[in-house]
Chain A
Amino acid sequence: MPVPCKAGCGKNAMLKRPKTGDTLCKECFFEAFETEIHFTIIKAELFNRGDSVAIAASGGKDSTVLAHVLKTLNQRYDYGLNLMLLSIDEGITGYRDDSLETVKQNRDDYEMNLKILSYKDLYGWTMDEIVAQIGRKNNCTFCGVFRRQALDRGAAMLNVKCIATGHNADDIAETGSEGTIPRVKPLKYTYEKEIVMYAHYKKLVYFSTECVFAPNAYRGHARALLKDLEKIRPTCIMDIIYSGETMAVKEEVSLPTQRICTRCKFVSSQEVCKACVLLEGLNKGLPKLGIGKSSKAKKMLEEYNANQNNMKTVISNINDDCKKNNCVSRGKVCRSNRNTTNYVEKEKNEDKCCSSTQEKTKDSVATSSSKINTLLQDYGISENGCVDDKITLNGESSENHNFEVDLHNEDTSLIEENDACVGACGKMDSLQIGF
Chain B
Amino acid sequence: MENSLNIHIHFGGGAELLFDKIKKHVVELPAARKYFPDTDIEKWRIKELLQWIKDNLLKERPELFLQGDSVRPGILVLINDADWELFGELEYELQNNDEITFISTLHGG
Q: How far is the CA of A63 from the CA of B105 in the complex (A)?
A: 14
- State whether B81 touches A58 (Cβ < 8 A): no
Stretch at the interface among A346-354, A372-380, A390-398: A372-380
Closest CB-CB distance, A435 to chain B, in whole Å?
11
A7-18 vs B, Cβ < 8 Å mask (1 yes, 0 no) = 000001111100
Closest CB-CB distance, B52 to chain A, in whole Å?
22
Question: A206-B108, A210-B107, A210-B108 given as contacts; is B17 within 8 A of A13 (CB)?
Answer: no
A387, CB-defined interface residue at 8 Å: no
- State whether A193 touches B76 (Cβ < 8 A): yes
- State whether A207 touches B82 (Cβ < 8 A): no
- State whether B103 touches A223 (Cβ < 8 A): no
Stretch at the interface among A225-233, A276-284, A414-422: A225-233
Closest CB-CB distance, A96 to chain B, in whole Å?
13
A51-79 vs B, Cβ < 8 Å mask (1 yes, 0 no) = 00000001111110000000000000000
A192, CB-defined interface residue at 8 Å: yes
- State whether A209 touches B14 (Cβ < 8 A): yes
A425, CB-defined interface residue at 8 Å: no
- State whether B64 touches A207 (Cβ < 8 A): no
- State whether B82 touches A14 (Cβ < 8 A): yes
- State whether B86 touches A166 (Cβ < 8 A): no
- State whether A228 touches B73 (Cβ < 8 A): yes
Chain B residue nearest to A434 (CB atoms) is B67
Closest CB-CB distance, A309 to chain B, in whole Å?
46
Residue from the list A23, A63, A207, A372 in contact with B17, Cβ < 8 A: A372
- State whether B76 touches A59 (Cβ < 8 A): no
- State whether A196 touches B105 (Cβ < 8 A): yes
Q: How far is the CA of A230 from the CA of B85 in the complex (A)?
A: 14
- State whether B86 touches A60 (Cβ < 8 A): no
- State whether A371 touches B109 (Cβ < 8 A): no
Closest CB-CB distance, B47 to chain A, in whole Å?
16
Q: How far is the CA of A112 from the CA of B92 in the complex (A)?
A: 44
B30, CB-defined interface residue at 8 Å: no
Q: How far is the CA of A193 from the CA of B18 in the complex (A)?
A: 20
Question: A23-B86, A193-B76, A209-B17 given as contacts; is B108 within 8 A of A200 (CB)?
Answer: no
- Chain B interfacial residues counted at CB < 8 A: 25
B78: A residues at CB distance < 8 A: 200
Closest CB-CB distance, B2 to chain A, in whole Å?
25
Q: Which residues of chain A from 59 to 118 have any CB-CB distance to chain B below 8 Å in the complex?
A: 59-63
Chain B residue nearest to A3 (CB atoms) is B86
- State whether B109 touches A210 (Cβ < 8 A): yes
- State whether A61 touches B13 (Cβ < 8 A): yes
Q: How far is the CA of A12 from the CA of B13 in the complex (A)?
A: 25
- State whether B74 touches A16 (Cβ < 8 A): no
Chain A residue nearest to B80 (CB atoms) is A14
Chain A residue nearest to B13 (CB atoms) is A208
B83, CB-defined interface residue at 8 Å: yes
Q: Which residues of chain B from 52 to 80 have any CB-CB distance to chain A below 8 Å in the complex?
A: 61, 64, 72-74, 76, 78
A375: B residues at CB distance < 8 A: 14, 17-18, 64, 107
A200: B residues at CB distance < 8 A: 12, 78, 103
Closest CB-CB distance, A319 to chain B, in whole Å?
43
Chain A residue nearest to B64 (CB atoms) is A379
- State whether B109 touches A376 (Cβ < 8 A): no
A300, CB-defined interface residue at 8 Å: no
Chain A residue nearest to B81 (CB atoms) is A14
Question: A209-B14, A376-B64 given as contacts; is B107 within 8 A of A60 (CB)?
Answer: yes
B6, CB-defined interface residue at 8 Å: no
A224, CB-defined interface residue at 8 Å: yes
B83: A residues at CB distance < 8 A: 13-16, 197
Closest CB-CB distance, B104 to chain A, in whole Å?
7
Closest CB-CB distance, B66 to chain A, in whole Å?
12
B82-109 vs A, Cβ < 8 Å mask (1 yes, 0 no) = 1101100000000000000001111111
Question: A230-B73, A375-B14 given as contacts; is B64 within 8 A of A62 (CB)?
Answer: no
Q: A15-B83, A196-B103, A207-B108 are in contact. List 8 more A-B contacts (CB 8 A).
A: A14-B83, A16-B86, A62-B109, A166-B109, A209-B14, A220-B106, A228-B73, A379-B64
A–B pairs, 27, beta carbons within 8 Å: A13-B82, A15-B85, A16-B86, A60-B109, A192-B74, A193-B105, A196-B76, A197-B76, A197-B83, A200-B103, A206-B108, A207-B108, A208-B12, A208-B14, A208-B104, A208-B107, A209-B107, A209-B108, A223-B106, A227-B73, A231-B73, A371-B17, A371-B21, A372-B17, A374-B17, A375-B64, A376-B64
Sorted nearest first, the 6 A-B pairs with minimum C-beta distance are A60-B108, A227-B73, A15-B83, A208-B14, A16-B85, A375-B17
